[in-house]
Structures are given as structure tokens and as C-alpha cells.
Amino acid sequence: MSRLGRKLFWRMAAMLAVVFIVSALINTYFLPKYLLYEKKTALAELADIVTHSGPTELKRQEQELERQYGATIVSAELQTNLDELNDRLLRLLNADGVSLSRFWLAEEGLDQLLQNKPVYRLYSQTKLNTSFLVTFLRTDDRIVVIGSPVAHSSQSLHAVNSFNAWIAAGGMLCALGLAWLIARGIVRPLEKLSRSAESIARLDFQKTDVRTGDEIELLADSINGMSDKLKEAHGALEERNIRLQGFISDISHEFKTPIALIKAYASGIRDGLDDGTYLDVIDRKADEMSGLVDRLLLLAKLQHEPYRITAFSFRELLDEALEPYRAAAEQAGIRFNVEAQPISHPTVMGDRDKIAVVLDNFISNTLKYSAGPDVRIELVDEGERLYFTIRNALGSWNGQDPGLLWQPYYVLESSRNRALSGTGLGLSIVKTILEKHGAPHGVQVEDGEIRFDFSLPYDRG
């Protein structure tokens, strides 16, 4: 038997033993007293009825009262001769079918009756294994005896307790079998769950089919759900590690190339080969490395620094973001087409400087990588929020999930071509800023175009 089965058996056995012991103690020590108390209560009630009934009424109701209360009622003329009185009462009881081996009203009891006080006596009939509970009453010049037999319960209780002991023994055997069945039904699915948990610990994300219709099934469903989430998280972590390795390779390349150039041009200066442009090249490459480091630091900074949320004009900020790129766009033959619906509120809520970084990234990306002459920018009033969309023609797409562009370290192309990907820092910065704002955002590729969008709430103050 399993440990759970043994535990269930001993608990059931202990419960049965406690019930048996408590029952035996109650039967032995309290049941006889309770039965006697019930008899005394019934006789007291009957005595009260007799006391308030006249002789004629009592004679008429005597048989009915005896049947109702299970008692015997006899009466005789009250006299002071105890021997004659006891003999007379005993004959009356015998005539009524009550044969007593011991029955005697003592002088003390007679004195109480003469003072109109009831007298209570319990006469043990040893041979008959019973007792006779008697109440003596005085009504006018007569003495009334009300009696009821009380069986000695010791032998009956011994038999009952012995029978209960056998029942308890049989109950323990049943408990043993029942505990085995219950434990078997519980342990089997638990063993499945245990094996499943061990597999998950080994990164083997299995599922367990348990159909018990109870909390164990709910636990199995929870473990299966946890396995799915861990599998998804593990896959995402591995994918992130792969992208991180690619990012480190790309960053290394980004730094290695200008460092090699700086080193070569520095050697040329030292060897007297400078034609007057070497220092400019060194300075330009140093600026490129500094800019890359600044973007890395900006990404880390944006994830932790507090944002200053204020009301500002989004259209005004958009015009400011477009202005520096208009000349370059004109030279590249690209047009910025801004389509703005009537806006119900002039201002939105957000960190103006951070949203300026978002717009700058979107606009610079479209200017660099648009495969067509038009860049469409839309501002749509959605009632509670202002919806921003920017889209441009896409030269080619490899079919991957465009949502990967948001993730840091993601590089779409395996070559060093930075189209749509770069080092993956620009759009990662955008995503970080929008998430800190709680702003819904997305990216889609359809009909040869790539579209980025996000929304901000209006200022309701």
C-alpha cells in the first residue's frame, strides 16, 4: 500500500476507534442515568396529574394513565400501622401484575406522607435484574403508589458494546479496503503529474491527460498550462539569446570597422602619409562610435527613468519632427503626405520629448528605406484617443513576423545591409517609449507596404 493509502487507513481507523470508545463510555456511564432520569420525569408528571385529580376522576382515568406512562397506580387507605400498610400495598401491586421481592415503606417515609410530602423510592429486584421506581403520594385519607419498572442495563450495555466492537473491527477492515481504493484513485494521477513535473524540470515540456473530475484534474490543467507557458518562454529566451549573439556580432562589427580605420589612418599620420584628410576621417569615425554608444545608453535609460506626462499639441510636434527631413526628402524624391482628420481636442497626454524621439525614428526610417516616392502619415480621431499611422512602400519582405522588428537585437537581414533592421535599436527604443506610455502600437506588412501606428489619449483636463 502506498504512503497515502496507509495515511488514509490510519485516519479512518482512528476515527472509528474514537467513535466506538466515545459510544461505549456514553453507554456505560451516562445511558443508565439518562434512562432513570426519563423514568423520574415521567413519574413526576404522572404524580402531578394524580395529585390534582379527585378519587372518582382518578379511578376513571387510571387505566389510560397507566398505559400512557407505562406505570402502575394503586391506592389504599392511609393507616399508621406500617406492617399492615405495606402488606396491603404489596397485595394490591401483586393483584395488578407487579410481583416484588423487596418493597417496604419505612417509618420515615410515612412521616413525610403524613406531612403531605411525596416520597420517592427505588427498590432493586436483584433476581429479576430490574428495579422498581416508586412515588408515594397522600390524597386526603388515602395513599397512592405510582410505580414503574427500571431494567438493569449493565448486561444489555455489555452486549451492545461487544456488538459495537465487532462492528468497529469490521469497519476497520472495510476502511483498509476503502483506503486502498481511494489512494489508488488519487496516487495514479499524482504519479502522472510527478513524472510530468520531472520532465518539465528537464526542459521536456510534456502534457498530462488526467480526467478525474476533481481538484486533481484542475491541478493537471494548471501544470499543462504552466508547461505551455514555460515552453513558450523558453523558446522566446532561446530566440532572444540567438538575437543577442547576432547583436553582439553586429555591434562588434560596427566598432571593429571604424576602430580599424582609425588605427590605419593614425599609422598613416605617423608615417607622414596624411594628405590633410586623415584627421577628418578619424574624427568622423569616432563620432559614429560615439553615436552608437549613445543609442545603447539611451535604450537602457528609457527603460528605467521616470516620464514627465504633460499635455501638448501632437500636430505641432509632428510638424517640428518633419521639418529637419524635408530637404533630404526633396533630394531623395520622397514626399511626406500628411492626412489629418478634424481633431476634437487640440492636445494629447504624454512625455513630449520622448514622443519626439518616436516620431524622429519613424520618419528617419521611412526616409532611409522607403521603396517608393510617397510616405503617408495619417492622424485619426478615435473619440478618446488620437491615432497616428505612418506607411511607406516596401521593397521586399522575407515573410517573417513584422512584430519581430520591435524586439531589441533583432536583425532581419543576415548580411550587413541595414534596410528595415539596422542593429535593431531604433525600433526597440520606440517600443520602450510607447510601452512606458501604455500606448497601443503595432506594425503590419500588407500590399507591398509597411505600416507603423500608435495612439495617445486626449487631454481631458
- Close Cβ partners of 39 (under 8 Å, ≥ 6 residues apart): 133, 148, 150
Residue 400 pLDDT > 90, yes or no?
A: no
Q: What are the distances in angstroms from CA 410 to CA 396, 416, 421, 452?
A: 17, 13, 7, 17
Average pLDDT, the chain: 82
Mean of the pLDDT values across residues 135-154?
82
Q: Would the pTM of this model clear 0.85, i.e. be above it?
A: no
459/324 Cα distance (integer angstroms): 27
Cell 394490591 found at? 92
Strands (E), 129-216: 130-139, 142-151
Q: Which residue has the higher pLDDT, 429 or 191?
A: 429
Residue 85 has a pLDDT of 83
Handedness of CA 74, 109, 149, 123 (dihedral sign): negative
Cβ neighbours, 10 Å, residue 444? 14
Amino acid (1-letter code) at residue 2: S
Secondary element (H or E) of residue 61: helix 55-69
Beta bridge partners of 385: 457
Buried b (16+ CB within 10 A) or exposed e, 260-280: ebbeebeeeeeeeeeeeebee
Q: Count the residues in the chain.
A: 461
Residue 62 pLDDT > 60, yes or no?
A: yes
Indicate the burial class of 81 (C-beta count within 10 angstroms; 0-12, 13-18, 19 or more): exposed
Least confident of 240-254, 284-298, 382-396: 240-254
Cell of 320: 517640428
- pLDDT tens digit sequence for 152-165: 666 666 677 677 77
Strands (E), 278-325: 310-312
- pLDDT tens digit sequence for 161-186: 677 778 777 777 777 777 777 766 67
Domains 215-299 and 307-457 share a fold: no
Contact between residue 374 and residue 335 where contact means Cβ atoms under 8 Å apart: yes
Closest CA relative to residue 263, chosen from 282, 291, 239 = 282
Q: Which residue has the higher pLDDT, 164 or 373?
A: 373
3-class SS at 138?
strand
Q: What are the distances in angstroms from CA 93 to CA 98, 144, 190, 344?
A: 5, 11, 74, 110
Cell 510527478 found at? 194
Residue 154 has a pLDDT of 65
Closest CA relative to residue 303, chosen from 404, 431, 405 = 431
Cell of 325: 527631413
Handedness of CA 327, 331, 335, 336 (dihedral sign): negative
Cβ neighbours, 10 Å, residue 90? 18
Residue 221 pLDDT > 90, yes or no?
A: no
Contact between residue 122 and residue 133 where contact means Cβ atoms under 8 Å apart: yes
Contact between residue 150 and residue 122 where contact means Cβ atoms under 8 Å apart: yes
- Residue 446 sits at φ, ψ, to 5 deg, of -160, 145
Residue 101 pLDDT > 80, yes or no?
A: no
411/403 Cα distance (integer angstroms): 12
Indicate the burial class of 323 (C-beta count within 10 angstroms; 0-12, 13-18, 19 or more): exposed
Mean of the pLDDT values across residues 8-34?
76
Handedness of CA 198, 200, 206, 208 (dihedral sign): positive
Residue 155 has a pLDDT of 60
- Give domain 307-457's CATH number out of 3.40.50.720, 3.40.50.1100, 3.30.565.10, 3.40.50.2000: 3.30.565.10
3-class SS at 437?
helix
109/80 Cα distance (integer angstroms): 11
Give the architecture-level CATH label for domain 215-299. Orthogonal Bundle (1.10)
Indicate the burial class of 137 (C-beta count within 10 angstroms; 0-12, 13-18, 19 or more): buried
Cell 452486549 found at? 159
Indicate the burial class of 156 (C-beta count within 10 angstroms; 0-12, 13-18, 19 or more): middle
3-class SS at 410?
coil
Domain ranges of the chain: 3-156, 215-299, 307-457
Q: Specify the pairing of strand 142-151 against strand 130-139.
A: antiparallel
